[in-house]
């Protein structure tokens, strides 16, 4: 595990690990349906007890996102949302008292275009605690890991069901904050259950690393959150949340935020 000191992300796992429970890690698209709604959702999630949240940085060619998240990215990009606007929104949220850990899920293409050190420094200054770069290869991980460590940012990397066991351990050695275990091969999207093989693989990986392991892709219900957190340190829910934003995005902002927040509260219920 990479040592990055005690940033908010690392601290977030201390209490649930001591209690033997897991964390819910919601994912929302930054700027969907607009950046002020994103800020209000972050505030609502934190009031409900969320400790870690992921913000997806819209990208025109997402790596593994299903149609729900792809459509949200397209809408946000059409509205002019970009990294600089997201950084400004996150800074407003932090300045207004936002304290939970926040991760940017961002394509390496965006990071590379800005410049690795420049992008990470801007993310840090805005108030992010780490990055998830889903298209970051293991071969490129050293320089990203080093740059993140200099800024006390977490470098969260993905492990797939098809990743060989020895390569999973190598990826884990480059991770900080947590390891993102993809529950199923393919793209994001809501599913009714997770493969038994995924649960077994997560349990096996946790025997070999002290870094928390969170499971994402396909988790869509409180029951699935409960199942995942019996063996993992956290359950990541994205498409099911973004789906509810899409279904209600024409409502007044406060109504939308409450509806989505209520769903997040339901997802957290098994962990209380």
Query: What does the pLDDT look like over 236-252, one tens digit per residue?
Result: 999 999 999 999 999 99
Distance between CA atoms of residues 164 and 263, nearest Å: 35
Q: What is the pLDDT of residue 189?
A: 47
Burial of 69 (0-12, 13-18, 19+ CB in 10 A): buried
- The answer on pLDDT for 190 being more than 50 is no
Which of the four pLDDT bands, split at 50, 70 and 90, describes residue 1? very low
Which of the four pLDDT bands, split at 50, 70 and 90, describes residue 187? very low
- The answer on pLDDT for 153 being more than 60 is yes
The catalytically annotated residue of 40, 44, 54, 190 is: 54
The catalytically annotated residue of 65, 75, 129, 190 is: 65
95, part of any domain: yes
Which residue has better confidence, 126 or 272?
A: 126
270, part of any domain: no
Distance between CA atoms of residues 84 and 119, nearest Å: 10
Q: What is the pLDDT of residue 63?
A: 64
Q: What is the pLDDT of residue 193?
A: 66
272, part of any domain: no
Sheet holding 23-29, edge to edge: 154-156, 130-132, 101-105, 52-56, 23-29, 234-237, 213-216, 179-182, 158-159
Distance between CA atoms of residues 209 and 173, nearest Å: 8
Q: What is the pLDDT of residue 205?
A: 94
Q: What is the pLDDT of residue 212?
A: 96
- The answer on pLDDT for 191 being more than 60 is no
Distance between CA atoms of residues 158 and 15, nearest Å: 24
Is residue 46 annotated as a catalytic residue, yes or no? no
Which of the four pLDDT bands, split at 50, 70 and 90, describes residue 4? low
What is the percentage of the chain residues whose pLDDT exceeds 90? Answer: 82
Domain count, the chain: 1
67, part of any domain: yes
* Residue range 97-118: mean pLDDT, rounded: 97
1, part of any domain: no
- The answer on pLDDT for 54 being more than 90 is yes
Which of the four pLDDT bands, split at 50, 70 and 90, describes residue 140? confident
Containing domain of residue 12, as a range?
8-265
Is residue 140 annotated as a catalytic residue, yes or no? no
Q: What is the pLDDT of residue 199?
A: 85
Q: What is the pLDDT of residue 3?
A: 55
State the CATH number of the domain containing residue 39.
3.20.20.70
- The answer on pLDDT for 32 being more than 80 is yes
Q: Mean pLDDT for the chain?
A: 92
pTM over 0.85, yes/no = yes
Q: What is the pLDDT of residue 183?
A: 84
Q: What is the pLDDT of residue 71?
A: 94
Which residue has better confidence, 66 or 59?
A: 59
Coil, strand, or helix at residue 166?
helix
3, part of any domain: no
């Amino acid at each position: 595990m990479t040592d990055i000191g005690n940033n908010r992300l690392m601290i977030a796992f201390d209490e649930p690990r001591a209690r033997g429970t897991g964390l819910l890690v919601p994912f929302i698209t930054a700027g969907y349906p607009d950046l002020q709604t994103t800020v209000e959702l972050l505030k609502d999630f934190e009031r409900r007890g969320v400790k870690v949240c992921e913000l997806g940085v819209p990208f025109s060619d997402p790596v593994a996102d299903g149609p729900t998240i792809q459509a949200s990215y397209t809408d946000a990009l059409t509205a002019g949302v970009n990294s600089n606007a997201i950084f400004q929104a996150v800074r407003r949220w932090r300045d207004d008292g936002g304290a939970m850990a926040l991760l940017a899920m961002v394509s390496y293409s965006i990071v590379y275009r800005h410049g690795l050190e420049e992008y990470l420094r801007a993310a840090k200054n805005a108030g992010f605690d780490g990055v998830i770069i889903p298209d970051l290869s293991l071969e490129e991980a050293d320089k990203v890991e080093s740059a993140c460590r200099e800024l006390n940012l977490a470098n969260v990397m993905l492990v797939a069901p098809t990743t060989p066991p020895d390569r999973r351990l190598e990826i884990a050695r480059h991770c900080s904050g947590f390891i993102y275990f993809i529950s199923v091969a393919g793209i994001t999207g809501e599913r009714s259950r997770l493969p038994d093989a995924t649960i077994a693989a997560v349990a096996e990986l946790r025997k070999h690393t002290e870094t928390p392991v969170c499971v994402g892709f396909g988790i869509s219900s409180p029951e699935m959150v409960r199942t995942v957190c019996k063996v993992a340190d956290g359950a990541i829910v994205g498409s099911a949340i973004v789906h509810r934003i899409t279904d209600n995005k024409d409502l007044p902002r406060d109504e939308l935020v409450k509806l989505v927040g209520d769903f997040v509260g339901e997802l957290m219920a098994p962990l209380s």
